Amino acid sequence: MEELLKQCEQTLNDLSFATVRDWKAKTGGKAVAYFPVYAPVELLHACEVLPVGLNGAGDNLDLQHADARFGSFICSVVKSTLEMGLTEKLGCFDGFLFSSICDSARNLCWVMKRNLPQMYLDFLHLPHNPQSRSSVDFLASEYRRLARELEKISGVRLSPERLRGAIALYNRNRALIRQLYELRTQSPHLLRTSELYLLVRAGNFLPVEEHTRMLEMAVERFPWRPGKQRDSVRVVVEGSFCEQPPLTLIRLVEEAGCYVVEDDFGLGQRWFESDVPETGDPIEQLADSYVNRSVYSSVRHDFRKPRWAGLEEKVRRTRADAVLFLIAKFCEPAYFDYVMFKQKLEQSGTPHLLMEFEEKMFTFERLRTEVETFVESLVFQ
Amino acid sequence: MSEAVKSEYRGGIHQRQKELMMRWYDRLAESAATGRPPAVSLMISGNCVELLEAFGMVPLYPEVNALQLAIRHQSLEPILAAEEMGYAADNCAYVKADIGCYIKGLTPTGGPLPKPALVLCNFVGCNTYVKWFEHVSMMTGSPLYMLDIPFLREDEPSQEAIEYVVRQLVELASQLEKISGVKFDPERFREAVRCSAEVEGLWSEIKHLSRRHPAPFDAYFDAITLMGPLYVYRASREGVEFFQAALAELSAKVEHKQGVYDEEKFRLVMEGPPPYPYFRTFRDMFAKWKATAVASTYSTVGGLWEFGFRHDPERPFESVARHMLAQNVTNRNYLQRYEQIKRYVEEWEADGVIIHFVKSCRLFSAGQGDMRDYLTRTLGIPTLYIESDLEDPRYFSEAQIRNRIDAFFEGLEHAKATGKRQLEPLAAAASPLRVLG
């Protein structure tokens, strides 16, 4: 398993996107990248397009141009994504898909469009009014529009059978991820979060079939791994749904005495609370699942189920001692939600700590001290 | 260069605007005291005030309250109160000022503001609106309706997007019926839409007056004065009368060749909201150079009418949907804003563009460096980029901004005197939106 984890880490840090290039060379297919948080990957797969989830460039790329284009007060993932485009790192992609998650990411789509005119760029409007039945109909029409564009790219015609097949594949993949998440919650000493993170996120760069095989192997082997329980506090990590914290920071949180028993890393890959139905009109089922069966997130709004209720439920279900807010610097949706989350946690007496991160962080010592102090305060209270 | 000139245009419209806005605050105070007329919280961008007018409800615009506080130098106290509550330094300061006012019981006039009968979040491009109104709904306990407007990707909205918005507007009308106790009257709605169409025609004519040399008013600073009545009274007869009077006053200025200053030395296009906490100071920095804004993108936040769009009383729901989807700067895509600025520079004959990056508003500001790149390198338009904030006084560095503005005008002045272009557009400008050379 250690070898597998090492490979996953290499894949995440590989800005030449070797897995994508290999797949394209082998199949002759097309690849479309998508910006966080969520993209209807089943549609891409059904049009024989490889969906690739890009969460910025981490600390693997120097920003030479993007800073000047986006200025101060804008998060790293927006800038590093643009930088990849401006420095021709995205050559193996035949398109790039964005959605209505925040204002910076939305503007990024159009800035990319101007600077990469040869690339297919699209913007999905994911609806914000789930109370209205019209939301599902509108989203289904968005998906049909997207499918027509994808068909042009790949030359493959979408059929209900193909889409149902893709839905089944991704249901299986998500079920395995749920299983691993459950294993991690139950036995965080056997499967560390920094490891689970690698296993799940690597799926962004692999064909779903291959990733599913990898997850099956993990589900089989991790429960039997030797592991020793530590005297750690159980924490839920909240706020990293889009830009991803440096892996060093996730490891640091664990080393400083935390069992991360729930998190929102790579949330788009675990977007549905339950399977997307494999019967009926598959486009409508996908749309209905987004509107009615998706996880809470700071970039998805559903006033029927407040997000803070989702967080409280997570804390309860995982028997967590505390919540760690890991928020990307300048991530406005997370900052706004932090206010409400904080209020609710204080009402229920759940301790919490706020930490900000950026893709390019070089010193982690201050954060280490903060987490250690926080853990001590919980252990000795 | 002579020192600060403050002799810009102050006319009857400024006085009349003040009266109308005070009357609006009186109505809100009445609503607070008696519950009538019911107030509905609404955002400025692409607002659908026509539908409220059809039920005799009064709009409550938190942005207007926030900017009033900032102009009166009262925004810092509520901002700090919100930050104490947990809002981040990097959250929109409009939101913080508004929330801080709830916490501290402050209002811009000192008079009471009503509890909204409905918090109507018209999501028109600005994701912060969604969070803002969710929090307002939480704090006031008022019900919330989320009117979701798909973002504009193409030149025109799709039929599916129009149907989606119309379906929501119909749902909303039925909710407003229940809240107001007033039965929906299609004729009253049509009349509101008819008024809007008239106001939009007048407003568009006013905006086209600034194509004249000299422009009779400043299409940024004075336009902001006119924007209050435009959003509060657009769908009413009072709005029509106000804009008829405004057009007459400004047309008379054109006839007499009166500009904003005794001489119009520079013509500008302004991009981005103003720094309200330093509104006067900021304006004086341009007055010093006798520079008039002939067009601005900020004045199209609530609606973009100078290129021909009007509400249509024959198709009231559909035209409200079209306005929200496609005819306001916030729901139009970023490249459409580039093109809007380009048209202003060409058709309103401007000498340059000022981009004001405001920290609070990522909708406006995220990517403005790229916009500057397009304007300067691709089109060869002199462009100045400055940073501060629209609500938070802590981000206005007066000396630095003044230096940059002075240096910009010195460059323009030199270019005018020598007849030399400061910048040459890229040869690649033939393909309008390609820059990387």
For the stretch A139-191, pLDDT in tens is 999 999 999 999 999 999 999 999 999 999 999 999 999 999 999 999 999 99
Mean pLDDT of B252-277: 97
What pTM, to 2 d.p., does this model score? Answer: 0.96
User: Which of B235, B240, B233, B383 is CA-nearest to residue B316?
Assistant: B235
User: Cβ of A129 and B168 within 8 Å?
Assistant: yes
Q: Is residue B115 part of a domain?
A: yes
pLDDT, residue B7, reads: 55
Exposure pattern of A308-326 as b/e (b: 16+ CB <10 Å)?
A: bebbbebbeebebbbbbbb
Chain B residues near residue A103 by CB distance under 8 angstroms: 125-128, 361-363, 366
DSSP state at residue B374:
I
Can you tell me which residue has the tokens 């690849």? A31
Question: Helices B221-232 and B237-255 meet at what angle, rounded to 10?
Answer: 160
| Domains delineated in chain A | 19-158 (3.40.50.11890)
Find residue A123's DSSP bridge partners. A98
In a domain, B76, yes or no: yes
Query: If you measure CA to CA, which chain A residue comes closest to B139?
Result: A340
Among A106, A120, A123, A300, pick the best mutation site for testing chain B contact (most B Cβ within 10 A): A106
Chain A interface disruption, residue of B135, B145, B148, most A CBs within 10 A: B148
Give B143-193 pLDDT, tens digit per residue: 999 999 999 999 999 999 999 999 999 999 999 999 999 999 999 999 999
Length of chain A: 381
Determine, yes or no, domain membership for B422. Answer: no
The verdict on residue B3 lying in a domain is no
- The partner residue sitting opposite A73, judged by closest CB among B359, B374, B431, is B359
- The Cα of B123 is separated from the nearest Cα of chain A by a number of Å equal to 8
DSSP string, A223-235: GGS-------EEE
Residue-level pLDDT at A189: 95
Contact B150 A128 (CB under 8 A): no
How do beta strands B118-123 and B39-41 pair? Answer: parallel
* Cβ neighbours of A332 in B, within 8 Å: 90-92, 127-128, 131, 362
pLDDT of residue B73: 95
Residues of B with CB below 8 A from A74's CB? 362, 366
The closest CB to that of B362, out of A104, A114, A340, belongs to A104
Mean pLDDT of chain B: 94
Please report whether residue B348 resides in a domain: yes
Instruction: Give CA angle at A247 (A246, A248), nearest 5°.
Output: 85
Q: How many domains is chain B partitioned into structurally?
A: 1
In a domain, B431, yes or no: no
* DSSP designation for A246: P
Residue A31 has, within 13 A of its CA and on its CB side, a CA count of: 25
- pLDDT given at position B226: 95
Note the pLDDT tens digit of each residue in A18-62. Answer: 999 999 999 999 999 999 999 999 999 999 999 999 999 999 999
pLDDT at B433 over 70: no
Cβ–Cβ of A110/B91 closer than 8 Å?
A: no
Domain hosting B314: range is: 17-417
Residue B11 lies in a domain: no
Confidence check: pLDDT of A276 > 60: yes
Helices (H), chain A: 2-13, 18-27, 41-46, 66-70, 76-86, 103-115, 134-154, 160-186, 193-201, 208-221, 247-255, 282-293, 307-317, 332-348, 365-379
- In tens, the pLDDT along B57-105 reads 999 999 999 999 999 999 999 999 999 999 999 999 999 999 999 999 9
B389 falls within a domain: yes
In the predicted structure, residue B2 carries a pLDDT above the cut 70? no
ipTM of this predicted complex? 0.96
- Asked whether residue B227 carries a pLDDT value surpassing 80, the answer given is yes
Q: CA A197, CA A195: separation in Å to the nearest integer?
A: 5
